[in-house]
Chain A
Amino acid sequence: MVGYTALLPEGLLIATAVIVLLAGLFIKQKKILGYITLVGLLASLGLVIKGWNLTATFEGAPFYGAIVVDPFSQIFNAIFLTVGVLVCISALKAYGDNQRQDDFYSMMLLATVGMMVVAMSKDLLTLFIGFELASISTYAMAGFDKRDPKSIEAALKYFLIGGLSSSLMVFGMAYIYGLTGSTNIDTIASVFGANPALVTTPAILLAMVMLIAGFGFKMAFVPFHMWAPDTYEGAPSIVSALLAAGSKKMGFAAAFRIFIVGLIAMKLDWYIAFMILAILTMTVGNILAVVQTSVKRMLAYSSIAHAGYIAVVFVVVAYYPHAPALAVNHAVTGGLMHAFSHAIGKAAAFIAVGAIAYMIMSRDKVDDPNHISNYDGLGKRAPMTAFLFALLLCSLAGIPPLFGFTSKFVLFLSTIEAGLLGLAIICVLNSALSVYYYAKVVMRMYWGEPKGEAFVEPSTYVFVLAIAVIALIALFFAPGDLVYQWAETAAHTVTGV
């Protein structure tokens, strides 16, 4: 019975979701539900941060060890909740007078709970349930602007691909279960550790490929990325923020749990496969981002590129024991930090794009408010938004003094420590290439000719962006490596080396 309080954050969110859903039936003034959601998320985030190094296992009924609370789950929970807070505040503005906003809030809360369950799961079945809870909620959210054909298209694509990825995942899990007789990740790892012969069977190959493909769709690895740009572009901006920053990180949470434990236990020499995947993902993402004319689509591709950077974690881990334990821990630490910085930066960047589109649509008559030509002179027309957006892009590009730099620094450091020189060079060159397309947006904003009068900047959006930027700057300067220690402790929990 020890430590059920450790599950309080999730319980709180589920309670809030139920309250919001029920209250939505009776309350006319639905905006208040947004504030209730926000309070729930903030309380939950507070609890997670307070118990950052909490470890609690639940061996007996009703969980039978299927979930665990440890620094690893807590850091991912913090990521999901931070994204949730940013999205929730923006939704107060974006859907402030929408009659169905109660659905939005409850779906968002359930999606967040689903993601948190994934991060906490120690069992393939729990993991799958969390995955589906988050996915199904976000399918509906992607199509929330149901009169916008692009939003419908986005939702449909996301749903079809999501269904495919789930089925691949279950397929892979079924094989693993068949081979080991267990769905518990630790048991699976120990079975593999005890029977090295098992690792070389073709069935394990099939299972691994299926799992990589299944998670790969969620994490938008190339070549499983095709859905991501269309979905991120078509979905409402704040939902894109949730998808790119939250839902995608859920894929990483699951993959970290399974692959890192699996790879270290199985000692599979799979680093070449992961290296190709990582290099392909970051390079394709970056090159396609360069040629985009829609800022929102550019952010979608940049999100793919960032998935490629985080995939470096798997390469270094798969390289163990050639790579020293230090490199493995630095890689996972850097990956977690990068997941954090990218989640804040990308969520806020999508929200900024939404805010800018909102301002442009309110004043100019344009077909596509996300087209880069609409960003001309934004530094004059919407000074606050443009300034904050530019800083967010700097964080994504890995330019100091923002947290995006620190996380990339630690992540790339691990590649050198692992002795993967070629990978390191490709990573940093990719990072340099990415500066190009971020800079292009900044150039449009600051030295393009303004196309019209100044905008009235919606204060809610500016507030959200300011929170994100302040968080990124504070995390960069924070002495005593705040997030680093958290991420490092979390890394030790999963790698165990």
Chain B
Amino acid sequence: MGMITILMLVLLAGAILSLLTKTTAQARGVALVSSFGALAIAILMYLMYDANFSTVTHYAFEESGTWMPSIGIGYHVGVDGISLPMVILATIVCAFCTIFSWTESKRPNQFFALLLLMDLTLIGVFVSLDFFMFYVFWELTLLPMFFLIGIWGGPRKDYSAIKFLIYTHIASVLMMLGIFALYYFNGIATGTYTFDIPILLEAYRTGALGQFGQFWLDFIFVTIMFGFMVKMPSVPFHTWLPDAHVEAPTIGSIILAGVLLKMGGYGLFRVLLPMMGVASTWFIYLIALFGIMSILYSPFAALAQKDLKKLVAFSSIGHMGFISLGVAASALAGMDPARIVAHTGAMFQMFSHGIITCVLFGCCGVIEHHTHTRIIDDLGGLTKKMPKLAILMVAAFFASLGLPLCSGFVAEFGILSGSYGTMPIFVMLAAISIPFTAGYHLWAVQRTMFGPYNEYLGDIKEIKWFEFLPLAVWVIIFVILGIYPAPIIDMMHTTADYFITSGNVLPIGGIHVPPGGAFPW
């Protein structure tokens, strides 16, 4: 049994055990052991990554076994420079979330069980190298989040929870059709019917499926892309996200924005990027366009928000747009060094935004918990009562707007400078958003933290230790990575280098596919 299986079993055992407990303390104890155990395993995997890396398959800690051999479904897991940072991100976020919800008193056993289940399913998505498993975990992430929003959520939780469930479920079932087509065509072309991700992508990438015509290749690409774009979410498929965030409990929002959205970004790297050389070129511009739309739309939407949490939700949409842009830019033919920089930057953005947004949503949660409001106009001068919170929140907002010395700067700088090599016009358009992004962040901080204290709020208490500790840890992480990103970015850079220079991501037009083409019967 390999590390990844152990990691998942630790979380599964934790989830089941914590469901059986009676009190908050017991449930929390189980959750702490299990989630920090998972974090320890993830860090161990990070340390042992190089030693376990296979130069043949380009995955580390690979495990494979049979599951349903008749239709080619197997148990296949492994990590590389794309997925290991995501696993680390998921475990860091979820582990500190258990501390953040130290005093959760409403159905604590279910709460902590769902938290661990969330961690498990997210990790499952990131480590799966079999489309069946990938899809199973992809669907499973919906359930814990559905219950987190529904049971612990705000007043309009029914609407938000069901909208979240149905919207993203529709996207996933359409993605399933793309996977089916990929499976079937590969089966015909190569004779082996399998759901194995590396094999299927290899077949698609090398043009082995070219005989089936551009329509079906594009069908595969576009259905899978739709699944990822809804999950990211990209404008115009983002409408479920603000609703879900506004009603979700703080922990739900942190995991949703911090890790769950990254599933979409991860999919872009893992599945779509290798396909981009064969699919129609305009899809790459479409992805870039979705990115740009998100980048340009989010600051204006955020500026108009009255609810602090909704503002932060819109900021996530913009930051995820940078990932789409970076991925699209790295797929176009052009200067390879620039493409690698864009690719690395986009990957780093996933990790960096995952950490920063946790602090943002955590601060919103703390404010709501202490002042019982999130409406920006009702707040003001919180520095006077909550100086510790003010430090964390100002740090996070500055990191989110892309201040140097924070990880967000490294990532977005990488994306913009790298993308300039292949998509200069898109980069210039994206740059328009920068002042507005800075504007809404600063304006929000200024209205909530500074200025005269709103006496109407009464006497509020300073942030509690269990709220402070996770936020502080996350702040430290993004500041350290802002100054010295090498621990994470090196791994990503190696993978990006491998993907791009070894021709794994073919430039556009690399494979000639006959237009039209018939369905293979």
Contacts and interface: CB of A to CB of B under 8 A. Distances in A.
A401 interface: yes
> What 8 pairs across the A-B complex have the smallest Cβ distances?
A428-B173, A416-B180, A481-B68, A400-B136, A419-B519, A432-B170, A481-B70, A417-B184
A401 B136 contact: yes
A443 interface: yes
B140 A401 contact: yes
Contacts, number: 94
Contacts of B286: none
A413 B183 contact: yes
A424 B157 CA distance: 32
B143 interface: yes
Most A CB contacts (10 A, CB to CB) among B146, B169, B174 go to B169
B174 A480 contact: no
A32 interface: no
A221 interface: no
Interface in A445-497: 446-447, 479-481, 484-485, 488
B176 A428 contact: yes
B485 to A, nearest CB: 37
Interface in B136-174: 136, 139-140, 142-143, 146-147, 150-151, 157-158, 161-162, 165-166, 169-170, 173-174
Contacts of A436: 162, 166
A406 B184 CA distance: 17
B177 A399 contact: no
A417 B180 contact: yes
Interface residues of B, number: 39
A323 interface: yes
Given A419-B519, A479-B66, A481-B68, A435 B174 contact: no
Interface size class of A (residues with CB under 8 A): 35 or more
Given A416-B180, A432-B166, A435-B165, A425 B174 contact: yes
Contact of A424 (B73, B136, B166, B177): B177
Contact of A446 (B73, B140, B150): B150
Interface in A384-428: 394, 399-401, 405-406, 409-410, 412-413, 416-417, 419, 421, 424-425, 428
B140 A400 contact: yes
A481 B69 contact: yes
B442 interface: no
Contacts of B157: 447
Interface of A: 322-324, 326, 330, 394, 399-401, 405-406, 409-410, 412-413, 416-417, 419, 421, 424-425, 428-429, 431-433, 435-436, 439-440, 443, 446-447, 479-481, 484-485, 488
Given A412-B177, A428-B173, 13 more contacts: A326-B187, A399-B140, A410-B71, A413-B184, A419-B521, A425-B177, A428-B174, A429-B170, A429-B173, A435-B165, A443-B158, A484-B70, A488-B70
A443 B142 CA distance: 14
Contacts of B174: 425, 428
A435 B173 CA distance: 11
Given A322-B521, A324-B521, A480 B71 contact: no
A412 B178 CA distance: 12
A400 B69 CA distance: 19
Contacts of A479: 65-68
A443 B184 contact: no
B94 to A, nearest CB: 20
B132 A409 contact: yes
21 contacts: A324-B520, A324-B521, A406-B68, A409-B132, A412-B180, A413-B71, A413-B184, A416-B181, A424-B177, A424-B180, A432-B169, A432-B170, A432-B173, A435-B166, A443-B158, A447-B157, A479-B65, A479-B67, A481-B67, A481-B68, A488-B70
B181 A480 contact: no
Contacts of B166: 432-433, 435-436, 439
A286 to B, nearest CB: 13
A413 B180 contact: yes
Contacts of B184: 413, 416-417
Given A410-B71, A428-B176, A436-B166, A323 B150 contact: no
Given A399-B139, A432-B169, A439-B162, A412 B176 contact: yes
